[in-house]
Amino acid sequence: MVAVADRAPVLELPDTHGTPVRLGGRRERPQLVVFLPFAFSRVCGGELRALVSEPLDGADLAVLSCDPLFALRAWAEQEGATFPLLSDFWPHGAAARAFGVLDEASGAPTRASFLLDGDGVVAWSVHSPAGVARSVADYRAAVAALTA
């Protein structure tokens, strides 16, 4: 798995409308990369709703799943997500694999998040066990620590 102080992979993935969105690399603001295993699932749905209802200040948010972009578009519309939901569908799991979080047995990413600084270096990360939601408060604290 990509670790704190590692340079994150630089990748492009399509959003829910097929527009490429860049992950990693140099950018003006930090970027929070959140891997969700399955669209429309109970825990992932709760995490997405929390990100929608508690917006993060100070970082760009990108949420990734191996689901096809059409499923992610329906999910984003259902939940009111205004941040990018990115499809890691094809080549299947390439981004999750590059970050070291693809569960080959299920074909889905594990529940991992990475906060990248302006140079694309991992400043903070969290990896939760299957079925355990991550905390938006933890994201907020990590972003605040990075941007202080």
Catalytic residue numbers?
A: 44
**Count of CB atoms within 10 A of residue 90's CB?**
12
β-pairing, 85-87 vs 60-65, is parallel
Q: How far apart are CA 131 and CA 140, in angstroms?
A: 21
Q: Which two tokens stand for residue 72?
A: 């992610």
Per DSSP, the three-state class of 70 is helix
Q: Which helix (H) or strand (E) holds 34?
A: strand 31-35
